[in-house]
Structure formats: C-alpha cells, structure tokens
Amino acid sequence: MLTPTTKDFVVTVFLLIAVYRVHKFWEALKHVNFLPGMRPLFTPLIPISVLLPTTRWNPGIGWHWKWRKTAYFNRTHEVISVIPLLLGRSVVYISSLSVMKQVFGQEQKIGLNKPRYLSAAFMLWGDNLIASDNQLWKRHRKIVSPAISNRTYELVVNETLATCKELQEAEGWNDQQELSVKDIHNITRKLALVIIARCGFNFPTKWTDIDSEEVTAGRALQTVSATLILRLAAPRWMYKLPIKLLRRMDIIYPWLANYMDRAIAERQEIVNNTESDQLDCDLFTCLVSSLDKDGKIGLTKKEVIGNTFAFLFAGHETTGSTIAALFAFLSIHQGEQDKVLSEIGHILSGGRDFVYEDFPRFKHLLACIYETLRIFPAGFIVVRETTEDIFIQVTRPKEQTICIKKGTCIAGDMVAVHHDPYVFHDPESWIPSRWKEVYPVLEGGETLKEYEERVIVQDSTGLSAISLGIGPVSVKLVRRNVDV
C-alpha cells in the first residue's frame, strides 16, 4: 500500500514525465513544420520497436511492407513525419523517387550524415565505408573504388560458376531430373557469402565448409553474419550460460579475429614483395595496401577488418535474398520462366559456360531480376541526418516547397518508392516486361552502373551488379524447371 507521501511523489513524477513528453512532442512537431504522419509510441528504427510486432502503436520495421498500399495517407503524400509519443527521434519518410533524388542525389553537397546509432551492427568490427560519412566516407571510398571494376565482375562470374558446380556436386543434384529444395533462401545466401568471400577477399571458402562442425573460415563467416545483432545485444555474462549458440559464438568470434590478423599479415607480405603493377587489385588487396598506422590517408588495421566484414555482410544477405525471391517468382510465373530458359538456351547454345561478356544479352533474365528487386528491395531503407536546412519540392498532396530543418532524421522508404503507383502501373504485380523500354539503351553502350543508377534506386556502389552477375549463372546452373 502506498503512503500518501509516496503516492504524491509517484503522481508528481508521472506528471513531470507526461509534461516533459508533451513538450518534446510539441517541439518535434514544430521541428518538422507540422508535417502530417504517424504518431506511434516508439520511433520505428530503435531496437524495442524492431523487436515488437508491427501494430498501429508500433510500426516497427514491418510497416514498410505491411502497409505499403495504404501508408502515406493512401499514397496521397510524398513525405510524412513519424513522431514518437514515448521513445526515440522523429523521422521524415520519403515515398517518391523525385524527392529521393532531390535529397540523396546531392548527398555530398548538402552534407547528410549517417546516424551512428543505426550503424552499430556494421561497426562491430571497425569503421567502414557503409557506416562512415563525409571526409571519412571519402577516404574509405577512394581506397575501395579501384577494386570495383570489370575485372571484379568477371571474377564473380567465374567464381559463381565454380561454386555452383561445387554446390551441385555436394548436394547430389548432378544426376537428378527433379529437385526438391526446402529452403532455397538458405542456399542462395550461402552461395552469395562464398562468392563474395572468394572474389573480394580471396578467402579459401568452400561450399562444404559452411555447414561443417569444424571451425573453418566459411563456417565462421556464416556464424558471425547470422549472429551480429545477438552479439551486440548479449551482455558478456550471458556467454557463461549453457546455451549452445552463445558458447559457439564465444569460440568463433575470437577465432575469426585471429584469422583476420593472419590474413592481413599474409596479404601485407604479398603486397610488400610484389611490384604494384603486378598486384591483383581485389578488394582485400586494396584495403591491405592502404594500411597506415594513423589512418590519416589510408586505413588502420581495424578499419581494414571493419570494411571486410561490412562488404561481406552488406553483400550476401541482399544478394542471397534477391536470388531466392527471383526463383520464387519464376516458379509462380511459368510463362516468364519458359522465356528465361529459352533465352539461356539460345545464348549459351551447345551448353557452353556463361562468360562476363554475355551479361547484357540476358535481357529477359535481367528484367526479371530488376522486377524482383523492385518488388522486394533488399536494402529497404536509407537513413540520413540533415546538417543544414534543406528545401524539397513535392507535388502531393499539393505542389509546394517543404523545409526539412537541420538535424532532422530523413529516411528513403525503398518499398514505397518501388511500389509508387504514380510511377509503376499495377505496382503489386511482378511484370518483368515493364523494364523492356530500357533494353535499347543498354545496347547503345551504356555501362551497367549507369543503367542501374538510372532505372532503380539501389546500391550506390554498383556492387549490387555483383548479384546480377550471380543471378544469371545460378539460374543457368539450376537450369531445370522451377516449381513451387
């Protein structure tokens, strides 16, 4: 039973908190110039919100997909604000390509920052290109850029061929006419991880390593990528509990750190003993060549490791999920699947292997991949913080200029952008032919990177092209008909 004084104290504290929250809420509303939108309990991007289910009071991260048809006031607004009543920062969400271009198209000029609290998972191993912004981003980008070349794409094609052959052998698919795969996502994610580990870093990762009981590079990379969030959330004492996964993580994380140290030392020796024009500039070599103790011009050892993991993790989940979704769509749309198979049969006549130069000829398959990326954009949100007031022009609900004030969190909603009914006719349907009109431009000599930048708002590095490289090869190798 509360005594009257304790009761008064509790009521006073409660009232003070309520007044403080009302004041904060009012300030937040003023900060976004009373831009209409959602008023949930928590900001959608903070851990508690992500962990709880999507409801009216907690949009979480599920709302982009779940409410894609009705959000943004039934698509009548190009931008909305989300202001939490209890916890977290307010965020301005963008749902149209035209506003995305105004904001993200001049990211360097208007000085947008990446909110650090959102990059925590990427920062676990060290600073890197994905988590950094401004000058730091420029330093990382300059070092990484030479590794993103046609030579890399060629390597991706070759390694994809080799890995798919290993996969077929290991899974006993070679002499089967019909295959039943329970979890294609698991296979495509592994495939992407092995290929990126081999092409980007020359890590000796075999298909069979990934599921082995022994600790191997492949197995360790897979465990680390699957448990990043848990690693961030679990306090040290939890590792003493009899939980198999945590015990295993406690062995694998230090093992991988040690492995990385040795890999860097070995690569540094190669770099030191090879003429620079003879060096194969894969991503890991570029990173190690730039080692510099102070990290003023080059990278520190921690940043080399940070970038290695950032690339592995940013690349494999996105690519693996996109290819799994592609298989699913092809299985539902048998007519489109027939067209893909006949295109493959035509281009690779006589059963020859895919080579990099074949790439732009797979027009229908490319259209299927783009359409899959449109329906399920694997990087579903891009978040920044403004460092000065910026002005955007919107046309919905009416033509007007909106000021986004300095210090506002601004998020590009990729699901909304790619499902925009004002841009894509029948946005819910998977229609690869909607990409048809862009084919002639590709033939006119446009590079794949330019093509990607123009038609789809995805990965600013052009690295998602890697998944496009993996796509045709894996579809070719799993060439039999796909059924659900």
Q: Which residue ranges make up the site for ligand HEM (CB under 6 A)?
A: 129-130, 141, 196, 200, 310-311, 314-315, 318-319, 322, 373, 378-379, 382, 458-461, 463-464, 466-467
Q: Which is nearer to ligand HEM, 171 or 453 (CB)?
A: 453
Q: Which is nearer to ligand HEM, 157 or 348 (CB)?
A: 157
Shortest distance in whole angstroms from residue 13 CB to ligand HEM: 39
Q: Look-up: residue for tokens 């075999």?
A: 206
Shortest distance in whole angstroms from residue 457 CB to ligand HEM: 7
Count how many residues are written for the chain: 484
- If 0-12 CB within 10 Å is exposed, 13-18 middle and 19+ buried, where does residue 206 land? middle
Q: Which is nearer to ligand HEM, 348 or 373 (CB)?
A: 373
Give me the residues paired with residue 77 across strands. none
Q: Which is nearer to ligand HEM, 58 or 319 (CB)?
A: 319
Shortest distance in whole angstroms from residue 319 CB to ligand HEM: 5
- Reported in sequence order, the residue ranges of 51-158 that DSSP labels E, i.e. its strands, are 79-82, 91-94
Q: Which is nearer to ligand HEM, 396 or 418 (CB)?
A: 418
Q: How does strand 37-38 pair with strand 390-394? A: unpaired
- If 0-12 CB within 10 Å is exposed, 13-18 middle and 19+ buried, where does residue 78 land? buried
Secondary structure letter of residue 54 according to DSSP: P
Angle, nearest 10°, between helix axes 301-332 and 334-347? 110
Shortest distance in whole angstroms from residue 307 CB to ligand HEM: 8
Torsion, Cα 27 33 36 37, to 10 degrees, reads -50
Shortest distance in whole angstroms from residue 192 CB to ligand HEM: 7
Q: Which is nearer to ligand HEM, 163 or 318 (CB)?
A: 318
Shortest distance in whole angstroms from residue 156 CB to ligand HEM: 9
Type of residue found at 202: N
Phi-psi bin for 445: left (phi > 0), alpha (psi -120 to 50), beta?
A: left
Shortest distance in whole angstroms from residue 378 CB to ligand HEM: 4
Shortest distance in whole angstroms from residue 105 CB to ligand HEM: 12
**Secondary structure of residue 404 in the 3-state scheme:** strand
- Reported in sequence order, the residue ranges of 316-389 that DSSP labels E, i.e. its strands, are 381-385
Task: Please report, in angstroms and rounded to a whole number, the separation of the first and last CA atoms in the chain.
Answer: 61
Q: Which is nearer to ligand HEM, 220 or 470 (CB)?
A: 470
Give me the residues paired with residue 393 across strands. 401
